[in-house]
Amino acid sequence: MERTFKRITKILRRIDDPRQAWKIQHNLAEILLICIIGITAGADSSYRIYLFAVNREAWLRKYLTLRHGIPGRLTIERVLAAIDPKAMERAFISIMREAQKASKGSVVAIDGKAFFNNRSEEGVANIFYMVGAWCTANGIALGQVQVNEKSNEITAIPELLKYLGIKGATVTIDAIGCQKGIVKQIIQENKANYVIALKANQLTMYTELSTYAQDCIKDSALSFKYSTLTTTENGHGRIEKRKYYLFTDIAWFADRKDWIGLAGVAMVHSTRLLRNKQPSSETRFYITSHTKIECVAEAIRSHWGIENCLHWVLDTTFREDSAATKNSSTAANLAHLRRLTANLLRSDSSSLSIPNKRYQCALNSDFLEQILFHSSILS
């Protein structure tokens, strides 16, 4: 087995087995490996993972011992429900540790995703959130932390940052992450930079910095106080023009010392033209530790990759929003496994789309081996 699969196997073996020892027949790491391989090949539920394993037993025996054969569907479901999702979180982040180191100088976007279709025994919808980190340079999910309420993202972000090795990267977060403790952690503990959305949740800061920025733009005599950059994107029937402004002369801001690393405030004015529709515009503000407008503009443009590339793929290709389960631990653990398989699929260099890669894995064992054993996920 190649390096990536060996590393995944080694780390999965560290997860504590919550089952009673005298009842155990199937190795925990092998059950999780079957889940990873099955999801890679298109299985979207524990039952389909089981069906995949039954039909590929001879092939699986090349890489797994399967001392007591293929674990049953109920065994797979019980294991996914019993494993502590926090243990799976730590395992995922450990697997991705080398990819995190490779993110130096890249943009790492942090954002939350809601899960709506996980239902309790009473049929009531359970909503929980996964706060994840995404490296935009290679399209890889670096880690994620589960929270039960969106407001808890404020506590989840520091927990996630604590485990990420992203020295030299630029961290981007939406306004919920605009907190003094978070910017301090990014600068002092992660040795990284930040570009964080600024909105009215920090009302005094937002009012003072946004007013200053707009007053400078209105007065042509103050143009020396900021730098600008304009970009235009044209595609899919849409033209979007963005003008970036970066103001680094903010020594006057009384609370600056409380925001570790704060070097400037950025403003972005976007104008969007859609075919057969009226133009629309939007102005957004950000705080940043960068002093170069090119770095700020790249970070802002790159941030939405986590939504457009990761969350969209999980919803459309892995059908995450419709993967209903009654057990919240099962839902969380499957979410971690999907992100790992999405990384494996995305890091493959073939020109196929991710849905077609999964289909090809289901049809062709050689291609499945290429995804599992020759991935560049850790390079």
In tens, the pLDDT along 306-355 reads: 777 777 888 888 877 666 677 788 888 998 999 999 999 988 888 999 99
Q: Are 116 and 127 in contact (CB under 8 A)?
A: yes
Name the nearest CA neighbour of 199 among 219, 173, 217, 218.
Answer: 173
What pLDDT shows up at residue 150? 66
> Tokens at residue 251, please?
């020594």
How do residues 90-107 score in pLDDT, each as one tens digit? 999 998 887 777 677 799
> Tokens at residue 45, please?
């539920």
Q: Is the pLDDT of residue 121 over 70?
A: no
Distances (CA, A) of 111 to 22, 47, 144, 168, 362: 42, 30, 9, 19, 31
Enumerate the β-bridge partners of residue 265.
247, 287
Q: Are 357 and 350 in contact (CB under 8 A)?
A: yes
What is the mean pLDDT of the segment spanning 193-209? 96
Name the nearest CA neighbour of 241 among 250, 232, 249.
Answer: 232
DSSP one-letter code for 221: G
Q: How far apart are CA 300 and CA 284, in angstroms?
A: 10
What pLDDT shows up at residue 254? 95
Q: Which residues contact 351 (CB under 8 A, 6 or more apart)?
A: none
CA 244 to chain centre: 26
Enumerate the β-bridge partners of residue 283.
269
Q: Is the pLDDT of residue 136 over 90?
A: no
Residue type, position 140, single letter:
I
pLDDT level of residue 57 (50, 70, 90 thresholds): very high
φ/ψ region of 323 (left if φ > 0, alpha if ψ in -120 to 50, else beta) reads beta
